[in-house]
Amino acid sequence: MKSETLIDATIGLVLSGGGVKGMAHIGLLKALEQRGVNPSQISGVSAGALVGGLYADGASIEEMLLFFKETPLLKYNFVTLNKPGLFDTDKYLPFFDDFFKARRFEQLGKRLVVVATNLLKGEPVYFEKGELFGPLLASAALPPVFSPVSIDGQLFADGGIMNNFPVEPLTGASDVIIGCYATSMREVVKGQIKSALQISQRANLLMLHANAMDKLYIPDLLIVPEELGKIGVLDKKGIDKAFVLGYDHANRRLDEWLQ
């Protein structure tokens, strides 16, 4: 791939889920920005949907990282007893108001597709029109940690349940597809699974990985940052590390690809 051929190309970016590991997507965006490569279409799920939404809204690299650092994950007063989940997802809405300029997909500067899972119908739904915050929240509402989000009378949760690598909306619509897969897998030992939350997180990770594996060959360039497996899905202390891992890996892969 020559960098000159990207000038007039429609570039699509597919961003997986992965929780805090998804900060590697921001590292990829920084590496692309430094090379003058500007994707105009983004398809994202969970953390990838949030990063993609911020990017499509014109946020800088620093602003994206700040969003995730300032948005609490497991905050005590967000605990809910009235909804199916440990934490009330709706309580996160004010943070979107603070960081997003757009309120609707149509107000974004780039095409954004967000996938969430319709829990009632048991199917993935692809959002790219209308109100923005509901689909973004739903796409990242990992059960059973976060409560489902109600949209038009339906309950939606993490899109990764059904599709953790939503490349489909970009095929046929993009000349070049770049993918970043942050749901890294690694073997764990018996002693690392000690609680209900840990076994739930491990089961979710296996599920997310399984529904993405057969599609990782589709992008023209795939970024799979190494060492992300050592970062916890909900461990905010890993934000900067995941970002650096994504940036370093993307730099190496892009240099090889663009030669």
Report whether pLDDT(221) > 70: yes
Catalytic residue among 16, 43, 46, 139: 46
* CATH class of the domain comprising 3-258: alpha beta
Report whether pLDDT(61) > 80: yes
Report whether pLDDT(45) > 80: yes
Mean pLDDT score, 142-151:
89
Q: Is residue 46 annotated as a catalytic residue, yes or no?
A: yes
Mean pLDDT score, 50-78:
87
Exposure b/e, 127-146, CB count within 10 A at least 16 = b: bbeeebbbbbbbbbbbbebb
CB-side neighbour CA atoms (13 Å) of 150? 5
Report whether pLDDT(67) > 60: yes
pLDDT 10s digits, 174-204 = 999 999 999 866 665 566 667 776 676 667 6
pTM summary value: 0.90
Mean pLDDT score, 229-252:
91
Catalytic residue among 90, 139, 147, 158: 158
Domain ranges of the chain: 3-258
pLDDT of residue 185: 62
pLDDT 10s digits, 152-172 = 999 999 999 999 999 999 999
pLDDT of residue 54: 98
Report whether pLDDT(76) > 70: no
Let me know: does 77 contact 130? Beta carbons within 8 Å: no
